[in-house]
Amino acid sequence: MKTNANRLIWRRYRSLLLALLGLALLFAWMNTGLLNTNARLDRRYNPTAEEIRTDKDQADLRGHLAQTHESPETFVANRDSVFEPGAQGKFEVAIGQQGRSLGQDIGLVIVVSLMSGLALVVFGKYTHFLEWLRGSGLSNRKTAWTSLTLWLCTFNVAVLVNQVIMYFVLNQAIKPDLIHLSWQNVLAFGLLNQVFESVWFVLGMLLGTWLSRPIWALFYGFVFVLELNQFRLDGGPDFPGGLSVQTFYSPGQSTGLVILGGVIVLILSMWLYVFLSGRVAYAESPLTVFPQTDYLFIILLGGIATSSLMRNLSFYSWVGVGLVIVIWGLMLYQAYGSRIQRRLARQ
């Protein structure tokens, strides 16, 4: 007597997974529209400040800098466009409006990937579906592997759809003499994105499994990704601040190594998800599903909140300070609220 895990999980999650695919198509279509109507193609030199000073071939750029009263250092520091693969030599090709890239923002990619994985696990917990599956003849490992495979595959298809559409649009929009989207580059670029986004997706699943209360897990996930992206909670997002866009979006000599590392992290995360899922009891506890890791969670969140508070203080951002205090208050309420209420009721 075998229960069909794929069928059960697909039936329960299909609306969410189809919505994910639909959103991927929608975003790709939106990007296409933006590129077709508003994109500005920039071809410019991409030298270091030192090269600008010394390279005789770049007299025109130095002339431009003199005209705009911009120093080589400022010019280099202000570059925030996404480097497209295949850019030749010291050229940087950017597509965007007012210097902002229309390509995928690394910070946004992290938010979407992590929150997608987290949301799928939270949905299963909140609707008690995962709990019910436990008693339906599926082993814990089977449930975990099946959901992981199904969700990760759908997520990768969504990412792939987005990338393929972007690739064709870029191919149309960029003159071939400016950029070479060779198959090797496209493959490296694509693989890098797939692996990178998959890692964040599975980390989201892990976070959702580890945190005990579903709705609070979403809250904490959001705090986590915002902090990871160095969102200062003062109304000023600073997504690429912590992680270099180029590191992940411009394949170079170390791309293969980065992909390999990413795959190893992905496999380890997947294994950890299955391992943890097999030990989750689905009994609601205040913080994490394993009480012995509660302190780890408190340390993690305490660190995040403290670092955010210090940063806001250093920027004199009182709105940010207020927000951090509110988040601290909510955390304390979630962790100790019921305990305090019980104590008050006893008095």
Which residues contribute to the site for another protein (CB under 8 A)? 1-4, 7-8, 11-12, 127-129, 131-132, 134-140, 279, 281-283, 285, 291
Sheet with 40-45: strands ordered across: 40-45, 91-97, 100-101
Q: By C-beta, is 79 or 343 nearer to another protein?
A: 343
CA 284 to CA 153: how far, in whole Å? 29
Beta bridge partners of 43: 93
Nearest approach in angstroms of CB 285 to another protein is 5
Nearest approach in angstroms of CB 335 to another protein is 13
Nearest approach in angstroms of CB 227 to another protein is 27
Nearest approach in angstroms of CB 305 to another protein is 24
Q: By C-beta, is 274 or 321 nearer to another protein?
A: 274
- Residue 11: HSE in the Cβ half-sphere, 13 Å Cα cutoff: 7
Contact between 196 and 118 (Cβ < 8 Å):
no
Neighbours of 120 (CB within 10 A): 25
Nearest approach in angstroms of CB 133 to another protein is 8
Which ranges in 97-139 belong to alpha helices (H)?
106-126, 129-134
Q: By C-beta, is 195 or 211 nearer to another protein?
A: 211
Neighbours of 171 (CB within 10 A): 12
Q: By C-beta, is 281 or 325 nearer to another protein?
A: 281
Hey, what are 322's tokens? 């207020």
CA 279 to CA 270: how far, in whole Å? 15
Nearest approach in angstroms of CB 7 to another protein is 6
Q: By C-beta, is 8 or 28 nearer to another protein?
A: 8
The answer to whether the Cα torsion of 56, 58, 61, 65 is positive or negative is negative
Q: By C-beta, is 51 or 131 nearer to another protein?
A: 131
